[in-house]
Structure 1
Amino acid sequence: NEVRGIQRARFLNAINLSVYLAAPRIILFACFMAYVLTGNLLTAKAVFITMALFNTLRTTLMTRFAYAIAQWAELTVSCSRIQTFLELREMEPKTYNTKDFDDLAAFPKTNAKPKVIVNNISAKWSEGSPYATIQNISFNIKPGDLLAVIGPVGSGKSSLIMSILNELPVLEGNIQTVGTISYASQEAWSFNNSVRNNILFGSEYDEHRYRQVVNVCALERDLQIFPFGDKTLVGEKGVSLSGGQKARITLARYGIHSTG
């Protein structure tokens, strides 16, 4: 279907271009024929004035009008997709976020209260699928904990993260989180700006916090290598980052935004 859609779009673009190139000459010929057939004498003056007038109108009538038709077709498709998305059935959230521990009910009575509570959740991406993507998962993450989720490809590691982020609908159980969650995706990315701005990403500069995050993310060595330290530009107009450097900068970005 996608190939057919692309073929149809290219075919219409070809027709559009052909009409744009051929229409002015056809219209001029038709005008001159009508002028002569109505008993008028076709002179060089009339020809040049008519051609100048049509060339003036050509950009507006041919180029802009044809472009507007093509854009209208794309606008219709975009609006249809937006409407389809807005008409989707609302998900019932089973991931709850609070700003304080005291807002959560049924907490285990421990000294170190968890930041994330996953309570016997099951989830799947498609409602029509007979099998759950993840099933009967429970764990608590307390401040300072390091939890590693390991497993073969397709076992549901990313799906578990997506369920905590409320991107994957939870069918059974519930997830409770306290405060904010920083998510570092597998695909590290950076934008064309300084290393510092890539890390801060709009946050206010707190030197103590900044140096702490840079140290934890093992970026100090990289900043020493860069010609201008953390003020070095990265991207098209600056230095090219290696995969490891980009990953460390991305991790530092989320470390800056984390409230701890």
Structure 2
Amino acid sequence: MATVATMSIGTLATTCAAHYCGKFQKQQMAFKDLRLRLTNEILNGIKVIKLNAWEPPFIEKVKKVRTKELSSLRKYSLLQSAFGFIWAITPFAALLASFGTFLLVNPANQLSPSLAFTCLSLFMLLRLPVYILPEVVSRFIKCRVSLKRLSEFLDEADLKEDMVGGIPEEGAAVTLSQATFSWSKEDPPVLKDVNLNVKAGSLVAVVGSVGSGKSSLLSAVLGALEKVSGSVDVQGRIAYVAQQSWIQNATLKENIIF
């Protein structure tokens, strides 16, 4: 019973540690994604950043996110070390509890060499599984966090077909009426109460400063943004040339006519 009680206490402690390990692992991955996304945006706009000497504020932004990431990683590593330590001492604690209980329950009991070495042999058989268990649990936690992130991504809603209508105002090719958009349902609006009427056959240039929402406006017309309110109507098909060029893993002809 003493052995079972000791192993149960060790299991309970490691279960709590594993729970918090998963929590801090999830936080660390979220901060890592934010840091990589911010770094990618900085590299994409490095010309503008260098031109305006904006390096220090952007470096500070990355450092702040990195500090949060390291904090979560530190907590995860400490818990993982505690987890491994608990399971490393559990066999010896169980052995000590067994021998102590055996002698305390009945003072007449004698701990003979044959009994002691038999018990030691049995407990030594448990050492390898116990030593492997922390690594198995650690890998399981990482796997569970990764699977949950993949599941959230795969469960994301598809592009809504009704995001963009096909009946603009008479004589117009593109019509936006009191339209408000955000990148996702959880994010705040990036475009509010937009009204736009582009006549068929006309040439329109949207001019503005960096980050003013030019690309967001085009994404809204394409239906890539979450429409919070208002209406978007586009007549016919759309040919979109992105700011950054890209090609498909296909032939030249297929890249042109896809």
* Short-chain TM bin: 0.3 to 0.5
Considering fraction of residues, name the structure with more helix: 2
> TM-score w.r.t. structure 1 length?
0.46
